[in-house]
Structure 1
Amino acid sequence: MLRHFACLLACLIIPGTAFAEDEETTIRLGGALAYLPEYAGSSESQLRILPYIGFDDLAGFELSGLALAYPLIDLGTGEGPGEWSLKAGPRAAFDFGRDSEDSPTLTGFEDIGASLLAGGFVRATYGPLGFRVDAGQDVIGGHDGFNADLSIGTFIPRGLLGERFALQPALTLSWADANHNQSIYGVTPLQAAASGLPAYDLDGGFHRASATLLGWYDLDERWQLNAIVSYREYLGDYRDSPILRAPDGATNDVLMILGISRSFTL
């Protein structure tokens, strides 16, 4: 369970966090039922119950899922045709690692520890379109890599599809450097000798594309149901990784989450 899941959980609980603007200080508490792959490139999935806490504009900070951000730049309105907005600033995000016991394919592989990605974000809107970049370098020795997610999408607000329902489709390209990609998809000679997989060396590049649909349904003024479905396809040389091509590997996967949250406005 790696970085993309943390980003999706952040978007799930906060409506339109990737592309819409929220002017109130709000704290959200809730939980989610998640169905997700055991690790990147696994055909096996697991069901998990996860807690959630997040907030908007608390002393200027935003906590979304496992990411803490501070918008140093906040320009424009982002409302209506021809309008625009821009937010940007530092961001820190926590990544889960990978346990070699998750699969016989990973026999002889070292566990990938948790990572803390120190970097920044840019979030912009123009009319109905939203653009987002989240990037960070691992600073605690998990995969030791640099990651960047580039997203484009739109936010369909309440009222267009129903008074209580909002929807956000998005497309994302994920780029990472050689340290990250070799850790996740590569096989070193030592790992090859222990696992029986062929050695596989990788450089940096775009390693995954995702199509995501997020939805929110207001049960009342405070309680909200949240749902997400994300289809993810691995790209290029990364989809030819021996880990993904193993009997329990996969070159694509689907992640689904159903959650509930309660908001508290300050």
Structure 2
Amino acid sequence: MKHFTRIAASLAVFVGIPAAAQDDTEPPPGPPPGIDMSDSVIDDTWVTLGIGAGLVPSYSGSDDTVFFPLPLIVGRVGGVGISPNGPGLNLDLLSQPPGQGPRGTSVSFGPSFRFRNDRDNRIKDDVVRAAGRLDTALEVGVNGGVSFPAMLHSFDSLSLSTSVRWDVLGAHEGMVIEPSVSYFTPLNRGSALQLALSAQIVDDNFADYYYSVSPDQSAASGLPLFEADGGLNSAGLTAIGTVDLDGNLLNGGWNIYAIAGYSRLMGDAKDTPYTAIRGSADQFIGGIGIAYTF
């Protein structure tokens, strides 16, 4: 399945992005009007905690959906930026508090951790379930990116990032590369929108583990044999919106976030019998959550 929690949880970072413009010497053009940085909760140390729920595919390639919990933690503690990565975390060792560090383009880099529990449970399709459950993977690697502020007006930004991770628990024993391009803009003082284009590239070990049908799996499920190779695994578009409940994103407190996304499986992820016969290459996600920033 696509990494629903990773993208949904990144919404909480929205409250911090406008703070980067606080040392403008002239009133900035464009939205949002009337921002006063004196009441910003985003400083050297801040944390957002939240919980939500969403509908995601039952497994990568499934046409059934299941509810998925969305716990959230994001912020900056001890000089280290923290952002969610599905059931996992990205850490930014180059994180700077608002008003410090260089203005303009900013760079992020740090370790990345993610649990992958695809087809380890909650498989709705009886045939796919008969093929057997898979082990949970722990992927460890690095995440880096660059952000360009003030693309169309003073408070928006365009970000490019890539994660590279390897499984260390001996499940798929492979490598995953996930590049993304995202655009953030506040809609007004109390709401914001992010659009993200992302892709996933996998190696042969990953593809074989999740998309091949072995002789034993074929005998158990009745699906035809299939040998999967790595390559471009998926690409998609996600829209994420947030609304602060008191109408001010900068002063912390309660906010509601929502997500809607579409991705298309490609290559052997699309051609595997788990997708082509029992599921669909078109993958949809949606969800909503509530968070508190302090």
Which residue type is aligned with residue 242 of structure 1?
Answer: P
> CA separation in 2, counterparts of 1:78 and 1:209?
33
Unmatched runs of 5 consecutive residues or more in structure 2: 21-41, 152-157
Preserved contact between residue 24 and residue 56 of structure 1 (Cα < 8 Å): no
Matches for 1:208-227 after TM superposition, within 5 Å: 208-220=234-246, 221=251, 222-227=253-258
Q: Mark the CA change 1:229 to 1:27 in structure 2 (over 3 Å): closer, same or farther.
A: same
Q: Mark the CA change 1:17 to 1:96 in structure 2 (over 3 Å): closer, same or farther.
A: farther
Structure 2 equivalent of residue 42 of structure 1: 62
TM-score (norm 1): 0.85
Identity of aligned residues (%): 28
1:183 to 209, 216, 221: 209
Matches for 1:22-33 after TM superposition, within 5 Å: 24-33=44-53
RMSD across aligned C-alpha pairs, in angstroms? Answer: 2.7
1:131 to 160, 165, 182: 160
What are the superposed Cα offsets for residues 82-116 of structure 1, whole Å, 9 maximum, x if unpaired?
x3111112122222231366122224423122221
- Structure number with bigger Rg: 2
Which residue type is aligned with residue 78 of structure 2?
Answer: A
Structure 1 equivalent of residue 136 of structure 2: 114
Matches for 1:237-248 after TM superposition, within 5 Å: 237-247=268-278
Structure 2 equivalent of residue 153 of structure 1: 182
Q: CA deviation at 1:14?
A: 3.3
Q: Mark the CA change 1:105 to 1:16 in structure 2 (over 3 Å): closer, same or farther.
A: farther
Moved more, 96-105 or 221-230: 96-105
> CA separation in 2, counterparts of 1:17 and 1:229?
22
Q: CA deviation at 1:42?
A: 0.6
Which residue type is aligned with residue 142 of structure 1?
Answer: A
Preserved contact between residue 140 and residue 166 of structure 2 (Cα < 8 Å): yes
1:59 to 56, 78, 82: 78
Preserved contact between residue 112 and residue 143 of structure 1 (Cα < 8 Å): no
> CA separation in 1, counterparts of 2:271 and 2:16?
34
Q: Mark the CA change 1:209 to 1:262 in structure 2 (over 3 Å): closer, same or farther.
A: same
Unmatched runs of 5 consecutive residues or more in structure 1: none
| SS of equivalent residue, structure 2 residue 6 | helix
Is 1:250 paired with 2:280? yes
Aligned residues: 255
What are the superposed Cα offsets for residues 57-99 of structure 1, whole Å, 9 maximum, x if unpaired?
21233142533333234589686xxx31111121222222313
